[in-house]
Amino acid sequence: MTATEDVVDFVRSTTPPPAARESATAELARFAEAGRAGAESSAVRALRAALGTAEAGPVRTAWVSATAAGAGAEAGADGDGGPEWIAVCAAAGALEADPARAAEATALGYAVAEHIATALGTAHTDAGWAAQCTAGAIGAAAAAGRLLALGALPTRHLLGLAATQAAGLAGARGTDAWALQLGKTAANAVEAALLAGNGFTSSAEPLEGRRGLFALMSPGARPPRDRLGAHWN
C-alpha cells in the first residue's frame, strides 16, 4: 500500500478512539480561543478588506478563521501558542459540522498531519518549510474529506489537490504572513475537498511519487514504518 493509499483508507474507514476525540475537542476549543484573540488583528482586518463583502462560504470561512487563530496564537492568546494544527481545526469548523463530527474529523486530520510531518522529517523544517502549512495541508484536507464523506477516488484527488498547493515558510513567523499562510492552508484544503467532490482530478501518487510531496519537499523522505492510526494525539 502506498502512502497515498494509506491516507485514503484511513480517512474513509477509521473511527478515532475516544481519547483522540476528546483531545480534538480540546484543540478545537483552543482554536476558538485563539481565533477570538486574533479577530481584530492587523492580519484579519487586512484580509477582510482584501476579500470584500461577498457572502462567506466555507472556503472564505476557513481562510479568515485560520488567519485569526494564527494571529491570536502568535500573540500568545492561550499562553502556549494555540492549537498544534490550526489549519486542521479551521477546515473542520468551516464545513459546519456538529461538534462530535468536527472532533472526529479533527482527530483524523491531526493524525494525518503528524504522520506526514514525521515522513518529511527534520530535513524539511531545517530547509525552512513550515510543517504547520505543508504537513498541515494534508491533515486539513483529510479532515475536510471526512466531513464531506468523499469516496476513495475523490479522496485521492483531494490529497493531490492539497499537496500541489502545500507551501509555507518558517521565516514568516512574527509577521502577518505567518497567519495568512495558515489561513491559505485551511482555505485550500476546504476548496480542494469541494473540487474533488465535484469531479476535479489530480495525480495518482501525490505524496510518494517521483515528483510528489515527499520527493520535492524532503528528498530522501520515507513514510513512517507504522501505518496511520498506530499512534494518536
- What is the mean pLDDT of the segment spanning 155-184? 97
For the CA atoms of 52, 54, 56, 59, what is the dihedral angle to 10 degrees? -70
- The residues, ordered by sequence, that sit 6+ positions from 228 with a Cβ below 8 Å of its Cβ are 6, 7, 10, 14, 111, 112, 115
**pLDDT at 78 (0 to 100):** 46
H helical segments located in the chain: 3-13, 18-38, 42-51, 58-74, 86-94, 99-126, 131-147, 152-165, 176-197, 213-217
**pLDDT at 81 (0 to 100):** 63
d(CA 227, CA 210): 21
**pLDDT at 68 (0 to 100):** 98
- What is the mean pLDDT of the segment spanning 172-191? 97
d(CA 153, CA 77): 40
Closest C-alpha among 121, 177, 116, 168 to residue 142: 116
Q: Could you tell me the pTM of the whole model? A: 0.95
Give residue-wise pLDDT tens across range 35-46: 999 999 999 999
Rounded to the nearest 5 degrees, what angle is found at the Cα of 136, between the Cα atoms of 133 and 139? 155
More confident residue, 76 or 126: 126
Question: Taking 50 as the threshold, does the pLDDT of residue 31 lie above it?
Answer: yes
Give residue-wise pLDDT tens across range 130-143: 999 999 999 999 99
Question: Taking 90 as the threshold, does the pLDDT of residue 23 lie above it?
Answer: yes
- What is the mean pLDDT of the segment spanning 196-208? 96
**Could you tell me if 95 and 74 are in contact, meaning their C-beta atoms sit under 8 angstroms apart?**
no
- What is the mean pLDDT of the segment spanning 101-129? 96
**pLDDT at 58 (0 to 100):** 97
Residue ranges covered by each domain of the chain:
3-217
**What value does the mean pLDDT of the chain take?**
93
Give residue-wise pLDDT tens across range 65-87: 999 999 999 887 444 567 899 99
Which range among 46-60, 67-81, 216-230 has the greatest average pLDDT? 46-60
Least confident of 14-18, 80-84, 105-109: 80-84
- What is the mean pLDDT of the segment spanning 204-219? 94
d(CA 144, CA 92): 6
CATH number of 3-217, picked from 1.10.4100.10, 3.40.630.10, 3.40.190.10, 1.20.1250.20 = 1.10.4100.10
Question: Taking 50 as the threshold, does the pLDDT of residue 59 lie above it?
Answer: yes
Closest C-alpha among 148, 168, 170 to residue 158: 148
Q: Which residue reads 478545537 in cell numbers?
A: 28
